[in-house]
Amino acid sequence: MKLFPYAHATHPRWDMAAGLVLAQLRAQMSLHGYAANPTLALLYITDPYVSQAQEILAYLSAELPEVTDWSGTVGVGIASNNVEYFDEPAMAVMLCELPSDQYRVFSGVAPLGMAFEAHTALVHADPHTVDMTELVDEMAARTDSGYLFGGLSSSRGKTVQFAVAGDGNVKGQGAASGVFSGGLSGVAFGPGINLVSRVTQGCLPLAGAHQITAAQHNVVLGLDGEPALEVLLRELNVSLDQPREALHAVRATLAGLTERGAQAGVAGDAPTITRTGNFGSDVLVRHIIGLDPARLGIALASPVKEGMELAFCQRNVQAARADLRRVCAEIREELEPQELALESATALAASEAEAAPHPARGIAGAIYVSCSGRGGEHFGGPSAELQIIRHALGDVPLVGFFAGGEIARNHLYGYTGVLTVFT
C-alpha cells in the first residue's frame, strides 16, 4: 500500500484554505511512494466552516475528479501530522488508494448493505442522535471483528457529516448533496484492509477499583458493600461538613466504569486498572452529575448496574502523555519486524529534521480521534498531543478531529484518544 497524500490549512476564507490543501495534495501525488490514483478521501473541517460545508465538498470534489468517495465530519478542532487547529477555520484531507471492493461509504439514509462483508468501520456520528449507544453497538455487530473506530461530531453550532459514494451521492439519497446531519456515517472496510488501532486514556485512577453492589438507574448506591458516597469522600479526603471544598473536589472527579465479563475472553476480562496504575482500554469514563446525600449515592452520566466495576479518577496530563506514548510504541512494535532492511532502518532512525513519511515505516496513513477536552493545553501547549504522536510513531500521513465522544470497539468513550493506522 502506498503512502496516502494528506494536507491541512487554515484561512479565514474557505476557498483559500482549499487551494492550499489542493496544492499540497497534488505535490505529494507526484512523488514516488505516494498514491497517485486515490479513490477515497477523508475530509475534516472545524466548525467556523460548517456553513460552507457544501461549497467545500463541491469544490474539492470537482478539483479531484479521480476521488469518487468522500467521508468526514466537523470538529471544534481538527488534527493532522504534528499540528492541531482549534478556534480557527481549518480543514484537513487525506486521500486513500484502496481496492474498490474493500470499502464502502455508508450513512443513516443509505445503510451498509448485507452484500458487503465489513471487517471494521470508521464511524462519524451526530451527538444529538437518540439511542447512540445502541446504534454504535448495532453497527459493531455488523462487522466481522466487532471493532469500530471514530467519534461524535463536535461543533459550537450545527454538526455536519460528509458521505459521498461513486456517482457523487450515497446510493439511496437521491439528489442529496453528500452533506447532512443525524445518525451515523463513515466507511466500512473489508478484510483485505489491514488496520491496527489502539485506545489511549486521559485519566488517572485515584485508588483501586470497586465493585458496584447496589445501583438504581444511573445512581451508584453501594461500592464493595459500603455506601458509595462515603467511599468517594474518603478517597477525595473531604467531608460534607465543608461543602465548598467537597464540591470543588467532586467537580474535578470522574468515574471509570467497566462491565466485567461483557465480552468474556476478549474485552470483558481486561483489567480496570493495569499493573502500571493506569486505566485499561475497556474503561468508560463518565461525569459525576450529582450527589444523593439522603441515600449516600452518586449519580453518573450513564446507566449503571450491580456487578460493574468503578474507579474514581481525575484528568492527569502526565498520565495522558505517558499512555499516548505507550499505544504508539505498541503500534510500532506490532508493525516493525525483528530484522529490518538497511533502507527501513535508516528511515526509522532519521532525526526529526530529516524525517518524512516513508513506506519503510509500514504505515500508509493514520486517523486520530481525540476528545475535545484533551486537546490544546491539556497536553502542555498548542499541538502538543499531535507532536507526541509524531515523536513516538514517526512522521506518517495523519488526519483526524477532536470529538464530543470517541468510538472504539462497540463502546462510546470520553476523555480518550483512538489512534488507527493503515498498514
pTM value is 0.87
pLDDT at 220 over 90: yes
Tens digit of each residue's pLDDT (9 = 90 or more) over 104-161: 999 877 778 778 999 999 999 999 998 899 999 999 999 999 999 999 999 999 999 9
Distance (Å, whole) CA 302 – CA 286: 7
In this prediction, residue 265 carries a pLDDT of: 34
CA 63 → CA 21, 25, 231, distances in Å?
A: 11, 11, 60
> In this predicted structure, which of 31-40, 61-70, 102-111, 183-192 has the lowest mean pLDDT?
102-111
Q: How confident is the model at residue 316 (pLDDT cuts 50, 70, 90)?
A: confident
Inter-residue contact 397 to 7 (CB < 8 Å):
no
| HEC assignment per residue over 30-91 | CCCCECCCCCEEEEEEEHHHHHHHHHHHHHHHHHCCCCCEEEEEEECEEEECCEEEECCCEE
What mean pLDDT do residues 227-248 have?
93
Inter-residue contact 301 to 166 (CB < 8 Å):
no
> In this predicted structure, which of 2-6, 358-362, 408-412 has the lowest mean pLDDT?
358-362
Q: How confident is the model at residue 344 (pLDDT cuts 50, 70, 90)?
A: low
CA 247 to chain centre: 31
In this prediction, residue 110 carries a pLDDT of: 74
Instruction: List Cβ neighbours of 157 (8 Å cut-off, separation of 6 or more).
Output: 47, 50
Locus of grid cell 502542555 = 380
Average pLDDT, the chain: 88
Question: What 3-state class would DSSP assign to 21?
Answer: helix
> In this predicted structure, which of 47-56, 230-239, 320-329 has the lowest mean pLDDT?
320-329
Instruction: List Cβ neighbours of 238 (8 Å cut-off, separation of 6 or more).
Output: 245, 246, 249, 250
Tens digit of each residue's pLDDT (9 = 90 or more) over 168-206: 444 444 445 789 888 999 999 999 999 999 999 888 899
pLDDT at 262 over 50: no
H/E stretch holding 388 reads helix 384-393
What mean pLDDT do residues 15-30 have?
97
